[in-house]
A and B are shown apart, each in its own frame.
Chain A
Amino acid sequence: AQKVTQAQTEISVVEKEDVTLDCVYETRDTTYYLFWYKQPPSGELVFLIRRNSFDEQNEISGRYSWNFQKSTSSFNFTITASQVVDSAVYFCALSNFNKFYFGSGTKLNVKP
Chain B
Amino acid sequence: DTAVSQTPKYLVTQMGNDKSIKCEQNLGHDTMYWYKQDSKKFLKIMFSYNNKELIINETVPNRFSPKSPDKAHLNLHINSLELGDSAVYFCASSREAGVGNTIYFGEGSWLTVV
Chain A residues close to B by CB (< 8 Å): 31-33, 35, 37, 39, 43-47, 50, 52, 89, 91, 95-100, 102, 104-105, 107
In the complex the two chains form, is A33's CB within 8 Å of B105's CB? no
In the complex the two chains form, is B42's CB within 8 Å of A102's CB? yes
In the complex the two chains form, is B104's CB within 8 Å of A47's CB? yes
10 pairs of residues in contact across A and B, judged by CB atoms under 8 Å: A35-B103, A37-B105, A43-B107, A44-B107, A45-B90, A47-B103, A89-B41, A98-B56, A98-B98, A99-B45
In the complex the two chains form, is B41's CB within 8 Å of A47's CB? no
In the complex the two chains form, is B107's CB within 8 Å of A50's CB? no
Contacts of B97 in A (CB 8 A): 98
In the complex the two chains form, is A33's CB within 8 Å of B99's CB? yes
Contacts of B105 in A (CB 8 A): 37, 44-47
What is the CB-to-nearest-CB distance from B103 to chain A, in angstroms, rounded to a whole number? 6
Q: Is B102 engaged at the interface, CB distance under 8 Å to the other chain?
A: yes
Q: Is B114 engaged at the interface, CB distance under 8 Å to the other chain?
A: no
Contacts of A102 in B (CB 8 A): 42-44
What is the CB-to-nearest-CB distance from A44 to chain B, in angstroms, rounded to a whole number? 5
Q: Is B48 engaged at the interface, CB distance under 8 Å to the other chain?
A: yes
In the complex the two chains form, is B99's CB within 8 Å of A31's CB? yes
Q: What per-residue 1/0 map shows which CB atoms of B3-17 lie under 8 Å from chain A?
A: 000000000000000
Contacts of B104 in A (CB 8 A): 47
Q: Which residue from A44, A50, A104 sits with its C-beta under 8 Å from B42? A: A104
Q: Is B83 engaged at the interface, CB distance under 8 Å to the other chain?
A: no
Residue of A nearest to B101 (CB): A95
